[in-house]
Structure 1
Amino acid sequence: MTLNDKNQKPASETFEKKTGVAHLFAAGQYSMQGFRRLMQESAFRHELLALGVGLVLFAVIGASLGEFLGFIVLMAILFSVEALNTAIEELVDRISPEISTVGRNAKDLGSFAVFCLLVANGLYAAYVVIFRIFIA
């Protein structure tokens, strides 16, 4: 077994698999660590701001509970894809720090997935606002 750092132990020696209730708490802790990491991304902070603005806007126009729920679910999916995109970028930068076509393609595909959800969220919000202001 070869390690880059002589002081670093293999994952099998340092990682203890949690089970039962301990696993539940560990999973929550891992999720919070991921959230803290994602908060370092300006795109995610902008998306959180968009969530807040959208919720206020939906409240002002009198959106239904179903419309609120649809918006929140779309935003949760956007946050999930943003997290996966950030994970892809982290892995590509770690595995292939030099410029490569494969690395660029992986990052571009992740970015495209985020873009698709931004468009979906924008179209949904625009539909709800236009419907509530001009039709309902």
Structure 2
Amino acid sequence: MKRIVLAFLNSVRGLRWAVNHEKAVMQELYLLAVAVPLAALLAWDVMVFIALVGAVLFLIAVELLNTAIEKLADHVTLERHPQIGLVKDLGSAAVFIALVMNLLVWGAVIWVRLRT
């Protein structure tokens, strides 16, 4: 049980740091605050609600992983290095794919709602 509590505290510390230092994470948390009530209005069942909110949570998770990759890469070297640049680009690509997934999920639900 102690390990679970410590893991939870580490997670809270990481989230707190990200909120205070990463503009993208803060923007995505604002998006989540808007997405939850909007998903409640759009969803015709609990699974659709979970898909909508889950897509935004997935985006935040990928953003946090990208931030961790960038911080680790900067710790390795602050100089420009092609491999470090590639690592950062790959993390950024992951965030982009998560954004596209959000557009697809939200777009599909909105499309169905507009047609009914």
**TM-score normalised by the chain length of structure 2:** 0.90
CA distance change for structure 1 residues 133 and 68 in 2, over 3 Å: closer, same or farther? same
Q: How many residues align?
A: 115
Deviations 1:41-93 (A, max 9, x none): 11111111222222222233354211110122222222221111001100111
- Give me the whole-angstrom Cα distance separating, in 2, the residues matched to 1:125 and 1:36: 27
- The structure with more radius of gyration: 1
RMSD in angstroms over aligned alpha carbons?
Answer: 1.4
Task: Report sequence identity in percent.
Answer: 34
* AA matched with 1:103: I
1:42-121 alignment, distance < 5 Å: 42-121=23-102
- Give me the whole-angstrom Cα distance separating, in 1, the residues matched to 2:32 and 2:107: 14
CA distance change for structure 1 residues 23 and 94 in 2, over 3 Å: closer, same or farther? same
- Name the SS of the counterpart of 2:11 in structure 1: helix
Runs of 4+, deviation exceeding 4 Å: none
Segments of 5+ residues of structure 1 without an aligned counterpart are 1-20
Matched, 1:31 2:11: yes
1:13-28 alignment, distance < 5 Å: 21-28=1-8
**TM-score normalised by the chain length of structure 1:** 0.78
Q: Which protein is richer in helix relative to its size?
A: 2
Which residue does 2:106 correspond to in 1?
125
* AA matched with 1:22: K
